Chains A and B, each alone.
Chain A
Amino acid sequence: MAHKGCLSDYPGGACGKCRHRRRSGPRQEPLQVALVGNPNTGKTTLFNLLTGSQRHVGNYPGVTIDKVVGQCHTGRRDFEITDLPGTYSISPYSLEEIVVRRYLLEETPDVVVLVVDASNLRRNLYLAVQLLELGMPLVVALNKTDVARQSGSIIDAALLEELIGIPVVSIVASTGIGARTLLRRIADTAESSVPGALRKLSEYPVVSYNQDLEREISKLVGELAGKKISYFNASRRWIAIKLLESDQGVLTHINDAGIKASAEKAIRILEDSHGDIPESVFAELRYKWIEDVCRSAVLFASEEHASFSDKVDSVLTNRFIGIPIFLGLMYLVFHLTFSLGDPLVGFIESGFRHLGSAISSFWEPGSDSFLRSLLVDGIIGGVGGVLVFLPNIVLLFLAIAILEESGYMSRAAFLMDRVMHKFGLHGKSFIPMLLGFGCNVPAIMATRVMEDRTAQRITMLIIPLMSCGARLPIYALIIPAFFPSAWRGMTLLSLYLIGIVLALLAARLLRETIYKGDAPSFMMELPPYRIPSPRGVSKQIGRQSWYYVQKAGTIILGASILFWFMGQFPGIPEDREARFESRRQAISLDTNLDDEMKAENLRQVNMERSQAALENSLMGKIGHGMEIFMAPAGFDWKVSTALVGAVVAKEIFVAQLGVIYSLGDQGNTDENSLREKLQAVYTPLQAYCIMLFCLIAFPCVATVAVTKRESGSWLFAMFQLFSLTLLAWILTTTVYQVGSLFL
């Protein structure tokens, strides 16, 4: 605060004598404020409360975690608030923890606001101790004091502040209580500490450890000082403690062999005297300190009080009915997603059709204009084909958001982990995999909630094996053509089951090969149930749906144009074009035909022309080129060409096949006549192989794009694409070759 004689309020500018800045004025730099806290503490709610809609979403270098920054103003100061990912600690093990730690050390925010869940004070304060030891200028925002009060504990914020020595502000982020006070205390803290640098406060111990530990700490501090070793702005005491804790982040940064040897020696000494490694002892003493603080500052806590959550859990995770309820809920999610979504899908579909014909009407009917074809077939067809699923996807996101916000997602993981763990996955893999049967895109986005990154990556890799809704039209075309009605259901089921079995086996294989080194762990908080806030849910849906639309507008648009181009160029050679033209003229001049017959014959010629155009196009050539590789799997160039088209979206396979068998282009394919043609050309074994290949091979463009986005790496997305395609080829070839021996 302003000291005696400070002229900081003087209208001419900042105080010349001291570091105190001017109290108001447009040119003052905004205060850099970082929000940290455990997951489920209402950190993001506080962020939204403070910044409103002014936010910017970016990325931390090299990782896929969103960096959300927003602004906030009071009469006194401007604040730039960064919402850091939720973490339980700043040990450098999970991706979130590394991000938070690096941000705090490298960006050195002016003030760190730790959001603490008052109803779960003890564990939340562990992060406070860690941040204090790091010497962060800290303000504690004590959130959910209303929830804590309901469950019977009242926290004396003033006493807590006195005990831990940093500002503590009671807030209720969901209603906005305490926000003003919080901002005032943030500004106070910033102005009382040296701006832009970590306070070296933590040379002064936050927690005084026992004699043995303190002795080893000061020995190391002395050695660090002697060798002038530093780690960003962190205090030597902190570095010494981290060395004794064998902290990987600090160890990899410090290259001095001498200090490492001393640390190891100290660790051995301490381990001998305590019967436990120092890391455990430090944590134990920190928690003891916290328990002492809480004993004084928490006025009344009724532990034995059976909470609302326990009562709900006695039903939802019940030994007998827990799993049936879970499966029932999942069925409900699917049922509602598709029964409510499909009418809207139809609505959007017809919207795009009308748009297409409206644009077509600028040209005269039957025109060969490339622009018309590009707009109608390429862009509207491609992007529209993806956007029509928007209602389904919004509804799926709604369901996920409700499950996540209410706290049920963790329970679902708790229920299913046993099964998933067997295959190297995590309990939280189950719901994304299930969603994959609807559409792989939201399924891959749903893996975001998994903290276990290894399991998340494996889950992302195998989700395309879940047979999504877009693959159903392929099965629906082929199965009735080749299999007797008694076998149709079984054939369809077999495809879904093959997908599931392959997914689980692949997960197991990945866990035992590529992801072998990562110790699988399943530590998960089961947060208390709560009613999802409509605001939080709608924000989440809005963000994810917008992201989906953006993808449709960029990558998918690009891919649609590319594939349209591949399907059009280089086009039919001049002489053949001339032949089609002369046939057309012959028909229109033929006096023996009535108008109806003429139209029919013209249509026939146009279809043959489309077929010739596709065969001559880049895509057709690729299809021809692929035949050599695909022949062992029983595919000819026609199927191969259709497969190339299916990369944009799986259901396009059917339309492409229609064009190739010159039954007309997209939109007016007569399925029954196509079936007859297929029956004449392929055996049931070949047909099954086609379906098998469509099930496994290359995820659609949207899936690849979303995998790239969620994994942050093209390499990963390409690995998914190629390994699945290879798997499809090997399996299909095996089935075809072995099947040919017997059939």
Chain B
Amino acid sequence: MVETQGLSANMEDYLEAIYNVVQKNGAALPRDIGNILNVGRSSVSGALKTLRSKGLIRHESYGVITLTERGEVIAREVNRRHEALKEFFMRILDIDEELADRTACSMEHTVGDKVMARLVGFVRYSDNCPSEVTDWLEGFDRFCETNCKGDESFWSDNSPGINSSLDQLEIAALEAAAREVPGTLREVRPGDEVEITKVDMRGSMLSRLLDMGITKGSTVKVKKVAPLGDPIEIRIRGYNLTLRKDEAGKIKVKPL
């Protein structure tokens, strides 16, 4: 399995969307990705920033995005799962394409390799042994028509755990998102860019920071941390400044 750890489901979706657009057009624009995933411009640029910091995508000139080699490997893997799941849903479970697509989209991030292998095996098996399996599948369809009319209730009655697992997934996603959103400048990783939301200080220290251009709404890039781990170097308003982590810890930031 390709190492996709550290990427949230959300990020995998972005990667996959970029992959699909790149496959079709050769390159992607943030606008295309927003349209596919149906999200706003700011979310797209935030996600792109994260992906870029992980070295999965490249920003070319004119805002064009392409995948790095690593990004492409991960995206292709996610896409392969998506296609396999979708095929299983449509051909075996007889689910319509739209729903199959949507479901595959959310399952592709969580289904393990073993389950994937079995699913793909099942589809192949049904291809190779048409007579018995087709009969068996037809029987299954008939069973569904009679026994599982209200699909949702049939499912939830038999497996009450689904909602809580979904909740857990959501919590995990939120936690992952929270990990990516630093609260203060101190926690921002080198290479990342953030926006200042508040300078939480008083007195001469505050005046100093304000004079140097560290004000609400300005964009800061953390360039590096000193070798011994303390002062950090930032870029703000077109110049480089260093400050200690103590001071950086009092500067509240949010992702761009």
Q: Please pick, from A88, A89, A276, the residue contacting B198 in the complex, using a CB distance under 8 A.
A: A276
A residues in contact with B217, CB < 8 Å? 284, 288
B226 touching A317, Cβ below 8 Å: yes
| Bound CA span A440–B243, Å | 29
B227 touching A319, Cβ below 8 Å: yes
Asked if A123 is an interface residue, CB under 8 A from chain B, the answer is yes
A residues in contact with B229, CB < 8 Å? 418
With A126-B211, A283-B215 in contact, is A526–B242 under 8 Å at CB? yes
Asked if B230 is an interface residue, CB under 8 A from chain A, the answer is yes
| Bound CA span A526–B240, Å | 5
Enumerate B188-226 residues with CB–CB distance to A below 8 Å. 198-199, 202-213, 215-218, 224, 226
A414 touching B210, Cβ below 8 Å: no
A421 touching B244, Cβ below 8 Å: yes
B240 touching A279, Cβ below 8 Å: no
Among the stretches B29-37, B86-94, B98-106, B231-239, the one at the interface with A is: B231-239
Asked if B64 is an interface residue, CB under 8 A from chain A, the answer is no
| Bound CA span A313–B238, Å | 16
A280 touching B210, Cβ below 8 Å: yes
Interface size on A, as a range, is: 35 or more
B243 shortest CB reach to chain A, Å: 5
B204 touching A519, Cβ below 8 Å: yes
B213 touching A284, Cβ below 8 Å: no
With A323-B227, A421-B230, A526-B233 in contact, is A303–B238 under 8 Å at CB? yes
Q: Is the interface of A mostly helix, strand, loop or mixed?
A: helix
A414 touching B212, Cβ below 8 Å: no
Least CB separation from B226: chain A residue:
A414
Total contacting residues, chain B, CB less than 8 A: 35
| Bound CA span A700–B50, Å | 59
Enumerate B12-28 residues with CB–CB distance to A below 8 Å. none
B241 touching A526, Cβ below 8 Å: yes
B212 touching A523, Cβ below 8 Å: yes
Asked if A6 is an interface residue, CB under 8 A from chain B, the answer is no
| B residues at A contact (CB < 8 Å) | 198-199, 202-213, 215-218, 224, 226-231, 233, 237-244, 247
Beta-carbon contacts of A374-406 to B below 8 Å, as 1s and 0s? 000000000000000000000000000000000
| A residues at B contact (CB < 8 Å) | 88-89, 91, 93, 120-123, 126, 245, 248, 275-277, 279-281, 283-284, 287-288, 301, 303, 309, 313, 317-320, 322-323, 410, 414-419, 421, 427, 519, 521-527
Q: Please pick, from B215, B227, B233, B239, the residue contacting A284 in the complex, using a CB distance under 8 A.
A: B215
| Pairs A–B under 8 Å by Cβ, sample size 6 | A91-B207, A123-B237, A276-B216, A418-B231, A421-B230, A519-B204
With A287-B237, A524-B241, A524-B242 in contact, is A279–B210 under 8 Å at CB? yes
With A288-B217, A414-B233 in contact, is A419–B211 under 8 Å at CB? no
A residues in contact with B202, CB < 8 Å? 277
B residues in contact with A126, CB < 8 Å? 211, 213
A507 shortest CB reach to chain B, Å: 17
A415 touching B247, Cβ below 8 Å: no
A322 touching B227, Cβ below 8 Å: yes
Least CB separation from A419: chain B residue:
B228
| Bound CA span A540–B242, Å | 26
B213 shortest CB reach to chain A, Å: 5
A323 touching B228, Cβ below 8 Å: yes
A523 touching B228, Cβ below 8 Å: no
B215 touching A91, Cβ below 8 Å: no
Q: Sorted from nearest, which 7 A-B pairs have the closest CB atoms?
A: A283-B210, A418-B228, A89-B211, A418-B230, A526-B240, A284-B215, A122-B237
A323 shortest CB reach to chain B, Å: 5
B residues in contact with A122, CB < 8 Å? 213, 237-239
Known: A280-B199, A281-B216, A526-B241. 20 other contacts (CB 8 A): A123-B238, A245-B207, A275-B198, A277-B202, A283-B210, A284-B215, A284-B217, A287-B213, A288-B217, A301-B238, A322-B226, A323-B227, A323-B228, A416-B228, A417-B230, A418-B229, A427-B231, A519-B205, A521-B205, A521-B208
With A120-B238, A121-B238 in contact, is A521–B247 under 8 Å at CB? yes
Identify which of A288, A313, A523, A524 gathers the most chain B CB atoms within 10 Å of its CB. A523
A317 touching B205, Cβ below 8 Å: no
A160 shortest CB reach to chain B, Å: 15
Identify which of A120, A410, A522 gathers the most chain B CB atoms within 10 Å of its CB. A522
| Bound CA span A421–B213, Å | 24
B231 touching A417, Cβ below 8 Å: yes
| Bound CA span A245–B204, Å | 11
A608 shortest CB reach to chain B, Å: 59
